[in-house]
Structure formats: C-alpha cells, structure tokens
Amino acid sequence: MLNTVKRIAALASIACATTFAASHRNGPLLLEDQTANLNDLYAFRSYEQGRSDKVVMSMSVQGFQNPDNGPSYYKFSDSVLYRFNVNNARGLDGNPDLQVDLVFQTQLRPNPTFVSYFGAMKGIDDPGIFLYQTYVVVIRNLKTNQATFFTTDANGHALSVAPPNLGPKSTPNYEQNFGQPSIFTLSNGMRVFAGPRDDAFYFDSAATFDTLNFRAPAPILTGAADTAPGPSGPVDGFAGYNISLIALEVPISFLTADGSVPTDAKAANAKVGIWASTHRQIVTVRPSPSDPIHYGNYVQVDRVGNPLTVEALIPLPVKDYWNRSDPANDQQFAKYIGDPFFASGILNGVFGLKVPPAPRNDLLGVFVPDITRIDLTIEPTAMANQNRLGPLAGDNAGWPFGGRRPIDDVVDIGFRALGGVLVPGFGVAPNTQLGDGVNSNDVPLLNRFPFHAAPHAGFKHSQAEGTNGKGQVTGQ
C-alpha cells in the first residue's frame, strides 16, 4: 500500500511539473520583451455589490515586479498596444468581433533629480510624479468598422496610470490616495484602471522547477490540505510580487452581438469568448543616440486566453510561433491538446493511470480555440461564497464555465481537469486530489473593481515578508 501511494505521488508530481509549470514567462522571445509579456487574463461577471450586470476583463503584464526596484520603476511600454479581444458570433470561432485597445504615453516631467517619483505625494496629480503616464482607450467594432476614442474620463480628467507604491512616506494610504482615484469612469459609463497591483496568481513554482521537489502535503491533497487557505508547507512563488494590470468594466450588453442581456444559457448570445494580446509595430529603427522610431502596422507579440495554455500544453520549440498566431487558427495545435503527452505518454503509458483516451474532446472544447469562455447567464457568486475550485466544487461562476476570477485556483482546477475528472468514469482519486498545495493568494483580494489587491510597498518589502512566499497588505 505504501509503495502504491508513493508511486501515485511520484506520477502526480511528474504530471504537475510537465503540465502546470507556470512562470509568467510565455516563450523564449518574450524573455527579451517583458513589457509585452502577458501573464494572466481574467474575465468574469462582477461580484461587486450592485454591479452584477457588468463584466470585468483584466490582463496582467510584466510579472515578478520587485516592489523596491527603484529609482526607475516598472511601466507600461509606449510602443506596445495592449488589446482585449471579444468573440461573440459564429459559434465562438476565435475571430474577434470587438476590440478594446490601450495605448500609453510617457511624459518625463522636468526635474533636477535622478528619481521617477519624489516627496510625500498626495494623489495622482501630485507634481512629485515625474514619470507620468497617460493612455488612450480605443473601442473598435469590427463588424461596423467604427472606432471610439477616449483620452479623458467623464469629468475631463486625463486617463492616467497609478504610480507605484513606494512606501508610507512617499505614497501614504496608497489605495485611498492613489489606487481608487486611478479608476476612471468613461463618458459611456465603462470603468477602466491601469497601474501596479499585487499578482493574484498563486502557485508553488519553486518546488516544481526544483525537479519535482514538492513540499508536503502536495501533490496529493486530502482533507484540510485541500481547503483554503491551505497548508503551511508549500510556498507561493508569486507572493510579494507586483504586476502591471489593465482592467476594464463593461455592461453585459456591450459584449453580446445584439446588445442583449441573455438569460437563457441556450441562447445564441449566452456565451462570449475573450482573450488578450499585445502588439508592436513591424519596424523599429534605433538611430542612436536618438530615441527609437517605430513604423508600420501592428503585429501580435503575445496572447493569452485560458490560463496555462502556452506554459503547459504547447511544446517549447513552438511557443513563440503560438504566441504570434491567432486563436482562429488554433486547430493546428490540436494534436498537442487533444492527445497531450503528459496524459498518454506519462500518466497512462508509463504509470498505467486510467485517463480518458484521445482525442480529449473535453480539452479541445476549452483550449481550441484558446479563448476564455464566459457564460453570461451564470450569476456571479458573492465573494464570501466563492470556491477556489470553481465548477469542481459546484461554483460554476469560476473557470472554465463562468470565465476566470482572481480567486480561481487554475493550477489545481486545470490539473484535475486534464487528469479527466470532468469525463464520466474518471472523476476518482487521485485524479480528484491533485494540486500544488497553495490554495489562496498571499494577501486578501478586493471585493470591488479592479479586484486585485493594492501593490506591495517598496519600503515594506523584504525577503522575509516580501517575495519569500509571503506578502503584506499595504494600505488597502
């Protein structure tokens, strides 16, 4: 019996490392282009009180931001176009029908210092913000070829990026003075945010990448080990780090093809598909010592639909090509997803574990095309009642049926789903117990837009209470 348990634990470890090694590093070329490197996409019906008729879309970029990495802090790139894509027609074929673009502009305000931010700043318009970023929101209806541009909010204030959280002296009461004021309501009623936030993704990445050196009780989670907030052994490798977040709140009717608010799950407009992408102009000239000059059409650099697709299912030699491809052409990658090597070659072929046979239609239906699908008829679950395992625990408002929320434990959900738990006859242990042992984010999430917690403060950052598997609540 003991040997059987060890054998199952070993094969689960190998499977987890093979299929769910998420690192926010989406391909070899993106290691050289971090401002365009997408980390995660979230899309869900809002569970903020009184706003359940809204949908939130957010993308995170440039992961693993050290909060105290001054004097030049992280920023959005002026040469990257950041895009939300919405597919609401033709049975969700991976072709966009709506696009929302954000383009940033950096102003370096004249000052005699060597820093980007200086002094005890009082708010988002403080003159001590020397590196000042604004952005344009462009809504494109691809069916009518109409584009709408927003450079200010409904009150005429420039759409500006929230500054980093330097610490209690420079950015006191961060969320009150800088975080929430950076949420802007556009003249069409939509809300938008851009700026640094805590990284809501959680996963014991270090144990995985140390050649399957998992910390107990992972990778077989039973009893209390499978309930939040989780055991003390595993370490959240993303704790204490920030990301750059772009978040947009839109009415449900904005996303549907006919502008309706569907109530019947069988209706043609009940489901939409969403993905994020980053783009650069095709030609860059560097006439040093002058600034670079960019020419030509925008071309795709990166994309993200479902969590962990490129990290887990797409082989290394194909990752860069996949990042530049469109979801509409994802059938070319079906051989990797419909017959994943970790299932057929390792779980079944080596260890004899019972897994669903190829073709894995349960996986193909989620990952081809690779778009996050959201059933707009599923009512949002109140934050206090949300379950990190989403549909696997009866909470259908989570990934993959109801989009993806910040709380969703996509590592454990995905691992178990890829093991076949949603296929009749395969929802048995240990398939239903696999996980990395990290069951919650390092700091509490917000119950309001933009839902990601305030960014970690540079002054309060340390290896003991910073990026060493922990995080601190910093002025929410």
Report phi then psi at 29, rounded to 5. -70, -30
What's the pLDDT score for residue 347? 58
pLDDT, tens digit, for every residue of 51-85? 999 999 999 999 999 999 889 999 999 999 999 99
* pLDDT averaged over every residue in the chain: 90
Q: What does the pLDDT read at residue 77?
A: 98
pLDDT of residue 462: 73
Q: What are phi and psi of 349, to 5 degrees?
A: -65, -35
Q: Can you tell me the distance from the alpha carbon of 92 to that of 149, in angstroms, rounded to the nearest whole number? A: 26
Residues 14-50: pLDDT tens digits? 333 334 445 577 788 888 999 999 999 999 999 999 9
Which token pair is 276?
A: 């994020």
Predicted confidence at residue 20, as pLDDT, reads: 43
Which tens digits make up the pLDDT trace of 89-134? Answer: 999 999 999 999 999 999 999 999 999 999 999 999 999 999 999 9
* Residue carrying the six token digits 């929230």: 162
pLDDT of 423 reads 94
pLDDT single digits (tens) 264-309: 999 999 999 999 999 999 999 999 999 999 999 999 999 999 998 9
8 A C-beta contact, residue 349 and residue 358: no
Is residue 213 over pLDDT 60? yes
CA distances from 38 to 265, 308, 358 (A): 31, 12, 30
pLDDT tens digits along 355-375: 798 999 999 999 999 999 999
CA atoms within a 13 Å half-sphere pointing along the CA-CB vector of 121? 24
pLDDT in tens, 241-275: 999 999 999 999 999 999 999 999 999 999 999 99
Q: Token digits for 36?
A: 């365009």
Structure tokens at 192: 């938008």
